[in-house]
Amino acid sequence: MDTTLLLEWTIKAVILIFILLTGFAYLTLMERKVLARIQVRLGPNRAGPYGLLQPVADGIKLLFKESIIPAKADKVIFVLAPLITVIPALVINAVLPWGRTVTVFGRQVSLYVANINVALLYVMAIASIAVYGVTLAGWSSNNKYALLGGLRSAAQMISYELALGLSLLGPVLLAGSLSLVDIVEAQRRMWYIVYQPLAAVIFFITSVAELNRAPFDLPEAEQELTAGYHTEYSGMKFALFYMAEYVKMITVSALFAVLFLGGYLGPFESQYPWLGPIYLVLKILVGLYVLIWLRATLPRFRYDQLMRLGWKVLFPLALLNVVVTAVIVVLMG
């Protein structure tokens, strides 16, 4: 393997992880500020100017907080579960295109770590692994409430993954490719949210359920399951679960932008490729704002309502969308 190419991949991976970890830290601040604004409060404003050092203060607090492992827990799995949850949330971003090829120090550099021809299959495969971390966290704690939280999370994620997977087929059929780069480039004439509004809505709703975010945050329903699968976690191990959720929020917003909002495409992007990452970041911020807005607005579903919505509404609609899209593609092709 070319050493220069390997070095390029390594540098891009390190930069991407740095961006995601920094984004996770300041997404927590963004959420608290937006929620405060919606609820007519000030939000964090003590640590640094405008509260900008609040994520740093929170990180230091969690770093020095005592990490407790229950006496009868399966210690190995208890420690590994947060890693099994957070690592897929990071590596899934390897195939997300942040822009086209740009020139850096006279070298052509693509603004993504990897462009594989089955990128969407990679995304779905990696995303499915996170459920193991959540379930094992509940089981390894040797706490019945944590176990129930883990099992409910697994049932929820598996149920909504079917509709989520079907919602991805619309853009795939229109672009004729599983590569995220090809899907973005195919939207130069028109964003797919115009052609696939139903798929876009289904993708967004099912993604919120996959994230265990309100109003689908039943695995962490405090009044029911004493914080769910991470009841026994503290310190940095708890922070890893927190990190996984917020990194996945960024990833889901990026995927939505790539699949339905043209990704890095925007005015003058073809002349100035460096505008691509800026456009994508702006679209991601809009998606993140909507996720936070939903948390501040909607009440939590009951569990029977959650499962009914997934199986009786979203799954049939996603299947119908795939059939209609396939028929139109065949007739027009």
- The pLDDT profile of the chain, 333 residues, written as one tens digit per residue, is 578 778 888 888 899 999 999 999 999 999 999 999 999 998 898 888 888 999 999 988 888 888 888 888 899 999 999 999 899 989 999 999 998 888 787 778 888 888 888 999 999 889 888 888 888 988 998 888 888 888 888 888 888 989 999 999 999 999 999 999 999 999 998 999 999 999 999 999 999 988 888 888 876 665 565 667 778 888 888 888 889 989 999 999 999 999 999 999 999 988 888 899 999 999 999 999 999 999 999 888 888 888 899 999 999 999 999 999 999 999 886
pLDDT score for 155 = 84
Half-sphere exposure of 96 (CA within 13 A, CB side): 30
Spatial distance between the Cα atoms of 108 and 141, rounded to a whole number of angstroms: 49
- The reported pLDDT for the residue numbered 103 is 79
pLDDT, residue 114, reads 84
Long-range contacts of 55-61 (CB under 8 A, 24+ apart): 55/25, 55/26, 55/28, 55/29, 56/25, 58/25, 58/28, 59/25, 59/239
Whole-number pLDDT of residue 233: 86
Are 275 and 269 spatial neighbours (Cβ–Cβ below 8 Å)?
A: yes
Pairwise CA distance, residues 167 & 322, whole Å: 7
Which phi-psi region, left, alpha or beta, contains residue 50 (left: φ > 0; alpha: ψ -120 to 50)? left
- What is this structure's pTM? 0.92
pLDDT for res 317: 96
Predicted pLDDT of residue 220: 66
66 in Cβ contact with 235 (< 8 Å): yes
pLDDT tens column, 271-292: 888 899 999 999 999 999 999 9
